[in-house]
Chain A
Amino acid sequence: MIEVSHLSKSFGSLSVLKDVSLNIRQGEIVVLLGPSGSGKSTLLRCLNGLEQADAGSVRIDSVHIEAAMRAKERKKAVHELRSLTGMVFQSFNLFPHLTVLDNVIMAPMTVKNMPKEQAIDIAEKLLGKVGLAEKRDEYPSRLSGGQQQRVAIARALAMEPKIMLFDEPTSALDPELTGEVLQVMRQLAEEGMTMVVVTHEMKFAQEVANRIVFMSEGIIQEEGAPEYFFAGPKTERARKFLRQMAQEPV
């Protein structure tokens, strides 16, 4: 379903992704682990065109995007990629000038020209699903971080993506609020959503992921089923990373 081949990306002289290849099947839950600066966010952002790779290609379903593409072709492909993917950010990025409901219905109405009533219908269902139906008329600033992130998930789901990308969705939250967000993500996973998740929540990774992909210095160092990865990582880097995570739980 997702096919990343030989992706490379530099910021100036800093090489952030080095010939990364990765395939993800439909319904798979992949958790990306790795130390800070290893390129996890950059890889994720290449999947929906927020970042443009210098070399290599990404294919999602039938949409193909290549570093070598002409600008116009690329623009079209990026637009299609974004219709297939939904993204959840560390800092929520809800639109502060819109109510919770308007946050969720804006994109379907703007991008898909969906009639308002239909958009509201969908939004109410999704808000119910993330447990925030009664907050529909609040502004985001009135919500807790955990609630905001759940709205952000509902907002992304309203576009009916086939793949959900999560970039440290709970890192900005107080520990007591991470659970409610992870719960929503678990539920999504159970419903068969294809998910790529960058997180430092080891327990979530262990219990929900089908596969762990461990990155360091722009390279996928190793990947495997969580039970194997956590029991016996093959590379020294991964062992070191896991030791550090155990010492200072984030």
Chain B
Amino acid sequence: MKLVMDNLGFLFTGAYYTLLITIVSMFFGLFIGLFTAIARLKGNRLIAGIARVYVSIIRGTPIIVQIFIIYYGLPDYGIALQPMTAAYISLSINIGAYLSETIRGAILSVDKGQTEAALSLGLTPWQTLRKVVLPQAARTAIPPMGNTFIGMLKETSLVSIVTVTELLRSAQLLIAQYYVAMPFYLAIAVMYWVMSTGFSAILNVIERKLSKAY
């Protein structure tokens, strides 16, 4: 226990990186997801096809393999990335594929009459998407996206393998130093749990607000 307390600062730094990686990947993943969803729904055959293949590959392969390809594979082609950069890129690409499915479903769930009403008023298809469809799709998409975010918070532990010192690797480094494992693993378990439940609580509040607004 004392060991944990002495090294709390180090663990908190790890937790900070876990959070940072999650938020940054989620942020870029959101853009990738939105772009991919729109490409699949509105793109011509080629663009929609590329988007579909991307989603299928990401969903059909382990995230750890994706991370390895980005970090250990790309250097073969002269693209050597910093561990942190590799983590951001691989997780953003991963999360983007999953979010695109959520967003696509949410867009499709908006009643067709909404689009027709907007078009009949003279809005272009893009204006219709932006002003009418996406705001309504966002309501549907936000709760599952929150769950993706919490899932990603835990998945970030995988990038410890490519030497990103996030929460898990912080614990492993301490274990290597002190030759005791349990206290550190328990400590980070608690920290993961606190972060997850914290975000769950925030998500609940947001969901409640959303269901009230109209």
Contact = CB atoms under 8 A, between A and B. Distances in A.
Given A97-B135, A97-B214, A106-B131, A111 B116 contact: no
Which label, helix, strand, loop or mixed, suits the secondary structure of the B interface? helix
A95 B114 contact: yes
Contacts of B111: 93
Q: Which of B111, B117, B139, B213 has the most CB of A within 10 A?
A: B117
Contact of B132 (A89, A91, A95, A155): A95
Contacts of B122: 79, 82-83, 107, 111, 159
Q: Which of A50, A110, A111, A140 has the most CB of B within 10 A?
A: A110
B136 interface: yes
A156 interface: yes
B174 interface: no
A141 interface: yes
Interface in B102-143: 111, 113-114, 116-124, 127, 131-132, 135-136, 139
A89 B117 contact: yes
A93 B116 contact: yes
Contact of A48 (B120, B127, B139): B120
Contact of B131 (A86, A110, A141): A110
Interface string B29-52: 000000000000000000000000
A31 to B, nearest CB: 20
A83 B111 CA distance: 23
Given A50-B116, A110-B131, A96 B214 contact: yes
A89 B123 CA distance: 16
A52 interface: no
A85 B123 CA distance: 13
Nearest to A83: B122
A107 B123 contact: yes
A41 to B, nearest CB: 11
A126 interface: no
Interface in A82-112: 82-83, 85-87, 89, 91, 93-97, 106-107, 110-111
Interface of A: 48-50, 79, 82-83, 85-87, 89, 91, 93-97, 106-107, 110-111, 139-141, 152, 155-156, 159
Given A50-B119, A97-B213, 5 more contacts: A49-B119, A79-B124, A91-B113, A95-B132, A156-B120
17 contacts: A48-B120, A50-B116, A50-B120, A82-B121, A87-B120, A89-B117, A91-B113, A93-B111, A93-B117, A107-B123, A110-B123, A110-B127, A110-B131, A111-B121, A111-B123, A155-B121, A159-B121
Interface of B: 111, 113-114, 116-124, 127, 131-132, 135-136, 139, 213-214
